[in-house]
Amino acid sequence: MKTIQAYRFALDLTPVQERDVLAHAGAARVAHNWALARVKAVMGQRTAERSYGVPDELLTPSLSWSLAGLRKAWNAAKPGVAPWWGEVSKEAFNTGLDALCRALKNWADSRTGKRAGRPVGFPRFKSRRRTTPSVRFTTGAIRIEPDRMHVVLPRLGRLKLHESARKLARRVDDGTARIMSATVRRDGRRWHVSFTAEVERTERTPARPGSVVGVDVGIKHLAVLSTGELVDNPRHLAAARQRMRALGRALSRKTGPDHRTGRRASKRWERTAARLGRTHARVANLRRDGLHKLTTRLATTYGTVVVEDLNVTGMLANRRLARHIADAGFADIRRQLAYKTSWNGGRLLVADRWYPSSKTCSDCGTVKTKLALSEREFNCEACGLVIDRDRNAALNLAALAAEFDTAGSGPVAARGANQKTRGRGQVAVKRESGTTPVGQTGTVPPQGRTIDRVLTKAH
């Protein structure tokens, strides 16, 4: 099975090498801003000409938004715009032009309805001080040295790694991986290189291929499994909150940049801002490490993992819980499970957003009409079951796997969460990995129970 996989390693750059990387990132920013100004000028000119009644065939020729069109325009103008263009790799300019090309396409698709999700705004100019330095190499000498502690990139030469790249080097030497591109980026005052590789992965089988686990994510516990295991939420952001506040107060007392007057920040402000940035980066790294360990363990152990389709955007509207929800990383758990279950021969089932996993009794199937968020225990009035709310939800999610296997594939149906029923009714699950194509869904029959209302939700 061939997959596109990224390998990310930290770099230890010398001052000279850091200046060279910053020069390449600056070249990408210059090309991006020049092409964006050119696009806006042509669009404005054509709009003005239309307002004067100029026919379409006589309008100023439009500028192609494709990468090839933007690169052609840049190559014609770069001797005057950037006379130093020969000092950096051509891939630096290609990085900025490619970013603008994708941004324009996303904006156009969002306006025409081809792109789902939130509306995408028109691209903006990149600032030298606020933009994260990044440059991407797709051609030229891109390789890992035999000592596996150095990499070679075009024009930048030999760069030392902070950690060994043996995982990727072994695959490249065995012929099971092919490096397609390399991206150098600065995150939290630390430079990283990310290799995008086409990897030939061997077929794997989970340790317990026939087992099913339901995963209910939350704030008090990051994940509650149907097996009864409770995964604690480390709350890395809350742990670093006091230090962030102190650094934020110290930063506000120093002379920062003023873009209106052109005042530059003081050295003390830059040092404090760097300390605050490192603190944020450490929180992000700790969160990423914990989520990867959890999802890897689930994907390599269980054959079927069932999660919920949470409306994380809507949950973030709760101002009292937004910070804790964002710190937990609900969306990232599902994203990682989606590809890790596929890599390890398992499958991921996603319960419909309207499936009342917390309101349904895991023993008799009775659904409560209302269940307040403050009620942490589920008390079933029909059978007398008393169980932890999250454990009850995890058991209901795990039960969906058997119903999905019974029903097979077909359209999606889901039961309304605000309607009290006498049984499980119809539920919806979407399979996101495995032998079934991504996005294929299944309808679960009532299994002899009755329902009062059925809501249909299209995926």
Q: Which pLDDT value is given to residue 431?
A: 63
Q: Would you state the structure tokens that stand for residue 37, as one six-digit string?
A: 């100004």
State the Rg of the chain over Cα.
27
CB 392 within 8 A of CB 206: no
Task: Give the pairing type, strands 208-217 and 302-308.
Answer: parallel
Q: Which pLDDT value is given to residue 429?
A: 63
Residue indicated by tokens 């409560």: 368
Question: Angle 350-437-102 (CA atoms, 0-180°, nearest 5)?
Answer: 85
Cα distance between residue 205 and residue 209, in whole Å: 7
Q: Model's pTM, two decimal places?
A: 0.81
Q: Which pLDDT value is given to residue 117?
A: 83
Q: Which pLDDT value is given to residue 188?
A: 76
Cα distance between residue 196 and residue 1, in whole Å: 16
CB 428 within 8 A of CB 443: yes
Q: Which pLDDT value is given to residue 418?
A: 40
Q: Which pLDDT value is given to residue 251?
A: 95
Q: Please state the φ and ψ torsions of residue 331, each to the nearest 5 degrees.
A: -65, -35
Q: Which pLDDT value is given to residue 375?
A: 86
In sequence order, the 6+-apart residues with CB closer than 8 A to the CB of 432 are 338, 341, 347, 348, 349, 350, 438, 439
Please give the C-alpha separations between residue 5 and each of 35, 198, 223, in angstroms, as whole numbers: 30, 6, 26
Q: What is the pLDDT of residues 226-235, one digit of tens each?
A: 998 999 999 9
Cα distance between residue 43 and residue 47, in whole Å: 6
Residue ranges, the chain, pLDDT below 50: 409-427, 434-459
Active-site residues, by number, are 216, 308, 390
Question: Angle 78-80-85 (CA atoms, 0-180°, nearest 5)?
Answer: 45
Cα distance between residue 341 and residue 224, in whole Å: 18
Q: Would you state the structure tokens that stand for residue 455, as one six-digit string?
A: 């809501």
Q: Which pLDDT value is given to residue 428?
A: 57
Q: What is the pLDDT of residues 15-44, one digit of tens each?
A: 999 999 999 999 999 999 999 999 999 999
Q: Which pLDDT value is given to residue 154?
A: 93
Q: Please state the φ and ψ torsions of residue 242, each to the nearest 5 degrees.
A: -65, -40
